[in-house]
C-alpha cells in the first residue's frame, strides 16, 4: 500500500487544516476510470467522462480527497505493485492536466480477500490513512464506490455510502433490492456517475 501526495506543500497543509469539509473517499476502478479488470498497462487507463474534472472541482472547493482501492490482481499474480504504481502515476498526470494539483492520499490493498484487513470491506486502509494523516477522519464523510464491498466499507468506517452506476454500479444496485442488503440500501445514495455526485454536493 502507498500514500501519495504531489503539489505545493504549503497549499496542501493549508487545505488540510482549514477545509472543515467532509472527507471524500473514492474507489478507483469503476468510479474514476473504466473498470477493465486488473489494469497493468498505464495506456489502458481510461477515465470515466467527467471524473477527472469532478475531482479537480472537489479539490478547488477545499475538500479532502483520498483514493482507496482493492487491487486483487496483485495477489492473483496478474500484475505487480510496480504495475499498479505505474497506472496510478498516469492517473496523477491526467489529474494534473485537468487542473488538479494534488489529492490527499492514495492507498491500495493487494487482494480482495475477506481475511485481508486492508482489503475492503475491511477498514485497514482507512485506519492507516487516518493514522498517517491525523487531520483526516472518514466518519461522517463520504465514500464513493461501485461495488457492495465499497458500500460495506463506507458503513464500517462511519462514512456515508455513495453508489455510482458506472463500473459495476448497476449490478450492485440490483443486489441492494435483496432483503439481505436492505439496511445497506437504506443508507446508500445512488448517482449515475462521480460527476453527478460532485455536482449535487457542490
DSSP state of 22: P
Q: What is the pairing mode between strands 24-26 and 142-145?
A: parallel
From 8, 14, 27, 146, the catalytic residue: 27
For 46-62, b/e burial (b = at least 16 CB within 10 A) is ebbebbbbbbbbbbeee
- Helix, coil or strand: residue 64: coil
Query: Is 27 one of the annotated active-site residues of the chain?
Result: yes
Distance of CA 99 to the CA centre of its chain: 19
The residue annotated as part of the active site, out of 3, 8, 14, 29, is 29
Which residues are known to be catalytic? Answer: 27, 29
Amino acid at each position: 500500500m502507498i500514500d501519495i501526495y504531489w503539489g505545493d506543500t504549503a497549499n496542501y497543509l493549508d487545505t488540510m487544516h482549514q477545509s472543515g469539509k467532509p472527507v471524500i473517499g473514492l474507489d478507483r476502478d469503476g468510479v474514476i476510470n473504466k473498470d477493465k479488470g486488473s489494469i497493468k498497462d498505464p495506456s489502458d487507463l481510461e477515465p470515466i467522462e467527467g471524473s477527472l474534472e469532478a475531482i479537480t472541482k472537489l479539490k478547488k472547493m477545499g475538500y479532502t480527497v483520498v483514493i482507496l482501492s482493492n487491487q486483487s490482481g496483485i495477489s492473483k499474480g496478474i500484475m505487480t505493485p510496480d504495475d499498479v504504481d505505474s497506472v496510478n502515476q498516469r492517473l496523477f498526470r491526467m489529474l494534473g492536466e485537468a487542473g488538479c494539483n494534488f489529492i490527499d492520499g492514495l492507498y491500495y490493498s493487494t487482494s480482495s480477500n475477506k481475511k485481508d484487513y486492508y482489503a475492503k470491506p475491511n477498514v485497514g486502509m482507512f485506519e492507516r490513512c487516518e493514522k498517517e494523516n491525523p487531520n483526516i477522519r472518514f466518519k461522517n464523510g463520504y465514500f464513493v464506490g461501485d461495488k457492495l464491498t465499497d458500500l460495506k466499507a463506507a458503513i464500517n468506517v462511519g462514512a456515508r455510502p455513495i453508489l455510482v452506476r458506472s463500473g459495476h454500479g448497476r449490478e450492485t444496485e440490483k443486489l441492494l433490492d435483496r432483503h439481505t442488503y436492505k439496511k445497506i440500501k437504506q443508507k446508500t445514495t445512488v448517482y449515475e456517475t462521480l460527476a453527478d455526485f460532485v455536482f449535487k454536493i457542490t
